[in-house]
Chain A
Amino acid sequence: MIRFAHVTVTYPGALAPVLRSVDLDIPEGELCLVVGRTGSGKSTLLRCINGLVPHFTGGRLAGSVTVDGRDTRHHPPRELADVVGFVGQDPLAGFVTDTVEDELAYGMESLGVAPEVMRRRVEETLDLLGLTDVRDRPLLALSAGEQQRVAIGSVLTVHPRGLVLDEPTSALDPAAAEEVLAALTRIVHDTGLTVVLAEHRLERVVQYADRVVFVPGHGRAVEMGAPADLLAHTPVAPPVVELGRLAGWSPLPLSVRDARRAADGLRQRLANVAPPRRTVPRRDALAELRRVVASYGDVLALRGVDLTVHRGEVVAVMGRNGAGKSTLLAVLAGLRTPTAGIVSVAGAPTAGRPARDVVRRVGLVPHEPTDLLWAQTVDDECAEADRDAGVSPGTTRGLLTDLTPDIDGDLHPRDLSEGQRLSLALAVILAAAPALVALDEPTRGLDYPAKRRLVTILRDLAARGHAVVLATHDVELAAELADRIVVLAEGEIVADGPTADIAVASPVFAPQVAKVLAPLPWLTVSQVAAALAG
């Protein structure tokens, strides 16, 4: 169905090709998962399929990509719109109209589908994706999961034979991601659609994949194979696979269900061992929120939140999209003045204080890390951050290299991959070594090795007496990193306690290892590895 023959892609001005002689043949009706490190060329590979590379991005494509017999060299994306649908990571960026039904119909209107057929297909798609209740809503009024389902529906209505998705669930909370993936698997089963999907959060998707394509990056050869075979040696693997590798299970389990069945022996071995716990020396409070209320117009985002964060502590704030996590961080960093209540960090309020004074107390990496970056090259950005923070030259660059090695210093920050940009923004904020580091959804677009380094850096900061607060959907990250989990719902704190208690108690917030080894209170692969080694 989709065939790559000796494809080499070189972007303009780049010294080396992103992809080098890729040969792939993706058969009809398969769900194919593309995995690889941050910046390895996954997105390029996906964009080749519908001709966005090179027609839209520029650059040189040698070899040929054919989709359903059409060569992308002679067919720009618009002429491929009827055979392959493309859904990007941010659904809002691709919406052309403003209501659900119009958006679903837009592609068909462009292709000149007859009005009766359009009407019927819109109804079918609304049912298929469970969007009937929101059919006449404005797109901006939908939840993130609904928006992503509309984005998928809007390309499905033209009845393409292939569907390409670039990180469709990385911005979603666990429940919304489940919605989207459930809809997607239903479509694959019902319609025989060929799906090519890239995703960093492998734990969410790998059990649905028929086939995995591994893009190693640096122009090395792309591999394709059965998920269990390929994931045995890739640097990116979900926790359940890592646990399988550690315990030497064969075949490697891909889902929690498979792993539980294989895990009997492991559970017995670990039954009498207590999982290693980090002991946080109780230090003094750094940040205090007392009965904090914050509102947007007449919508309350926080309804009387009480929270104390201590020095040396890592707190994960979790909850649905729209539960008030970002507002909590904005209030901490003094970006929003609370409507009522008291916020103090290191003994003084943050709202309305001079920015230079606040950044030494709170550093916040916002949801859109690109906002923090405005220089023309990565090196300039690092140099400016050194000056802003008043630290010795090279500090920021050093932090960046710790997070994500070998980023070309001459690149424009906007040309970096999502994950590389986040690393840069994080380095810029960490340069000032603020007493409290706050991060809004820091692992969007980060691969597992980059996440591990992020964990090391943040734990190191905590050990040196800083406090870390992060808003995240990533249960694996929270399990690995946080000492404490705070769960927000509708602007109120509904749970607050040590990670082990909260994560094990709730199926929504349980990491894969906890699900596999339940009822034993183990959370991460590294805990298990340490126990088995010792």
Chain B
Amino acid sequence: MTTRVPRPLHPAAWWGWATALAIAASRTTNPLLLGLIVSVTAYVAVARRPATPWSRSYLIFLRIGLAAVAIRVVLFALLGTGPGTHVLFTLPRVPLPDWLAGVRLGGPVSLDGTLAATYDGLRLAVILVCVGAANTLTSPRRLLKSLPSALQEAGVAVTVALAFAPQAVASVSRLRAARRLRGRADKGLRSMRGLAVPVLEGALDRSVDLAAAMDSRGFGRRGSTPAHVRRATAALVVGGMLAMLASSYALIDTQAPSGLGLPLLLAGGLSTAAGLVVGARRGGRTRYRPDPWRSPEWLVVGCGVAAAVVIGLGRSTDLFPATSPPTAPSLPLLPALGLLLALLPAWIAPPLPRPRGVPSGDATGAAVVPRQTVGAAP
């Protein structure tokens, strides 16, 4: 085997792989299969995460997922619907007024229902974990960078918007400190109300500064593209995307006219593609060191898609274990083997470039951003 040049995998490949696994997760409630998906994403994330600040987001998403399971189960216990075959315990019933006749608060909590709620929550949690894995393996900003050139300006707008939340949090804490410095209360509702206007003003000021900086650096330059080409590009892309959005409703909603979904999806896809191709040709912008899309990218996405397809081949009794009466879930062989395919990217993906300043050794597991020496002149 030839030595492989270390490089980061194309962000879209990781997102494709993670999306496919999320789809696989959405096709089952079997806790064993769901657990397998979590193990697969965890292994790949640990093996291939770059040493960047966002590479810790896997754990954050895992925690959010567990919280989702807990909330789902607690809500079920409080609002659950009637007794099942096995009653675990009985909560005191809260009497509700007549106009809430359909809602029950408290009462018996059954094992069947709790199990169903847990499975359901688990499925959501695993989908979240898949998103977390993608976030860990590549930053959303990298993905935005590899948008087709017709969408690049929209991508920059999203990047700028993404920076808003952390900046707003920072300015809230600064302004609360400032209130304290002027001898006013820095806690309570009244003080929060007083903060809203300055925080927004600050955000607005920053946006204007940034807009001025971007304008000064040539953002939104007309270049040599004629106006009608630009308008056509925009119309094709926006129209196509709207069509695809409408078609997804038509495909999911069983009551929509059936023959409409697929043609609309195709037409929308074609229109968007045409817009992107025309946009790519206008040549107003170029891209610095774009991530290449080569065979490892195809293989990584392929592994994910294969897992999502193979899981669908399982019997529905295996994929959706019965909860009423409760039965122990079994691990179906074929879907499990399919999911193991999704583990391969841990070896298929090219090795990560070693971060500068970190001594040789294990570069993959090192979430180390080297400590900088401030203002040190060479």
Contact = CB atoms under 8 A, between A and B. Distances in A.
Interface of A: 50, 52, 55-56, 76-82, 85-86, 88, 90, 93-98, 101-102, 105-115, 118-119, 122, 130, 133-138, 141-145, 154-155, 158, 172-173, 175-176, 178-179, 320-323, 330, 333-335, 355-356, 358-359, 363-364, 366, 368, 370-372, 374, 385, 388-389, 414, 428-429, 432
A396 B30 CA distance: 70
B375 A115 contact: no
B374 A143 contact: yes
B174 A178 contact: no
Contacts of B212: 52, 56, 77, 94
A432 B183 contact: yes
Given A52-B212, A142-B372, 9 more contacts: A56-B212, A94-B210, A97-B159, A113-B286, A355-B183, A370-B202, A371-B177, A429-B181, A429-B182
Contacts of B175: 371
A158 B286 CA distance: 13
Given A335-B180, A388-B183, A414-B205, A77 B288 contact: no
Interface string B170-181: 010011011111
Interface in B316-360: 355-357
B190 interface: no
A130 B194 CA distance: 45
Interface string B181-215: 11111100000001001100110011001111111
A303 B202 CA distance: 33
B317 to A, nearest CB: 49
Interface centre among B214, B222, B378 (most CB of A within 10 A): B214
Contacts of B215: 52, 55-56, 76-78
Contact of B210 (A82, A93, A133, A370): A93
A359 B285 CA distance: 54
A492 B283 CA distance: 55
B160 A96 contact: yes
A241 to B, nearest CB: 26
A110 B177 contact: no
A88 B206 CA distance: 13
Contacts of B217: 78, 81, 85, 96, 106-107, 110, 154-155, 158
B184 A115 contact: no
A428 B184 CA distance: 13
Nearest to B175: A371
Chain A, interface SS category: helix
Contact of A119 (B197, B210, B289): B289
A299 to B, nearest CB: 9
B88 interface: no
A119 B286 CA distance: 12
B182 A77 contact: no
A143 B177 CA distance: 24
Contacts of A80: 216
Interface string B354-370: 01110000000000010
Contacts of A335: 177, 180-181
Interface in B282-315: 283-290
Interface residues of B, number: 61
A429 B356 CA distance: 46
Nearest to A364: B181
Given A97-B159, A110-B221, A372-B181, A122 B186 contact: no
Contacts of A119: 288-289
A255 B182 CA distance: 42
A429 B207 CA distance: 28
Contact of A414 (B184, B201, B222, B374): B201
Which residue, of A158, A173, A371, has the highest number of chain B Cβ atoms within 10 A?
Answer: A371
Contacts of A77: 212, 215-216
Contact of B198 (A105, A108, A179, A374): A374
B184 to A, nearest CB: 6
A88 B209 contact: yes
A122 B288 contact: yes
B288 A94 contact: no
Given A97-B159, A110-B217, A414-B205, A133 B356 contact: yes
B288 A118 contact: yes
Contact of B213 (A93, A138, A176, A179): A93
Nearest to A57: B212
Given A78-B218, A414-B205, A109 B287 contact: yes
B156 interface: yes
25 contacts: A52-B215, A76-B215, A78-B220, A81-B217, A81-B218, A96-B156, A105-B288, A110-B220, A113-B286, A114-B286, A118-B288, A135-B356, A138-B52, A155-B217, A158-B217, A175-B375, A178-B377, A179-B375, A179-B377, A321-B375, A322-B374, A335-B180, A355-B184, A359-B183, A372-B182
A399 to B, nearest CB: 15
